Amino acid sequence: MILRNLSGLKIAVALCCVLALTACSKKNTPNLEASNAGLGAGASSPGSEADFATNVGDRIYFVVDQADLTPEGEEILSKQAAWLQQYPGVSIQMEGHSDERGTREYNIALSARRATTAREFLIAQGVEASRISSIAYGKERPAALCDAEQCWTQNRRAVTVITGGARTS
């Protein structure tokens, strides 16, 4: 069901952007954002932030009010772990986020749980714990701005932010 929702979302977003509907921000699609950052998949230099965002994927998504990893989330985190092991000088911060359809304090706690779950998965995959800090943002920093489930889905996320040691592209 989650998979179906997410793939449906991508189609909706792609259509929307082709039609250049202003109601749909380009931030609504992590895929586009990543390729914008990398200026073309594969073109970024290996070990750079752009390489990570484009070729690995810097974020995973969660089900409503859940902090458990989805199969897709585990897949992306596994790729992140492999990349981080390839570039052992890189340090990261795991940001936990929630959608805006909850109360502030609870969302802060929920997003902390999400950051922890994602961080622990990376550690279990062999990334040293000392390389990963984490922070909870609650609902304070949405990535997608519309008022529909398709946006909230993208705001329930954990984002891996490189804080040091990446190569400059």
Partner 1 sequence: MPNSASLAPMRNFLVMLSFLVLALVPRTSHALEVDVSGGRINPLPIAITPFLVGGGAEEAGATLGEVISNNLGRSGYFDPLPQNSFIEQITDFNQEPRFADWRQIQAKALVTGQVYVDGGKIRVEFKLFDVNSQQQIAAQQFSTSPKNLRRIGHLASDVIYKALTGIDGYFDTQIVFVDETGPKDQRVKKLAVMDQDGFNVRTLTDGSELVVTPRFSPNSQEITYMSIGQGTPRVYLFNIVTRQKEIVGEFANMSFAPRYSPDGQRVIMSLLTTDGRNSNIYEMDLRSRQLRQLTNTPAINTGPSYAPDGSQITFESDRGGTQQIYVMGVDGSGQNRISFGDGRYSTPVWSPDGQYIAFTKQAGGRFAIGVMKPDGSGERILTEGYHNEGPTWAPNGRVLMFFRDTPGENGGPQLYSVDITGYNEQQVQTPGFGSDPAWSPRLN
Q: In terms of CB distance, is 24 or 90 closer to partner 1?
A: 24
Interacting residue ranges for partner 1, rule: CB under 8 A: 23, 25, 27, 65, 67, 100-106, 108-110, 112-113, 115-117, 119-120, 134-138, 140-143, 145-147
| Least separation in angstroms between CB 69 and partner 1 | 13
In whole angstroms, the minimum distance from the beta carbon of 2 to partner 1 comes to 19
Least Å from the CB of residue 15 to partner 1? 19
**Quick one: 63 or 87, whose CB is closer to partner 1?**
63
Q: What is the CA radius of gyration of the chain?
A: 16
Q: How far is the CB of 56 from partner 1 (least distance, A)?
A: 23
Cβ-based nearer residue to partner 1, 66 or 78: 66
Considering beta carbons, is residue 27 or 167 the nearer one to partner 1? 27
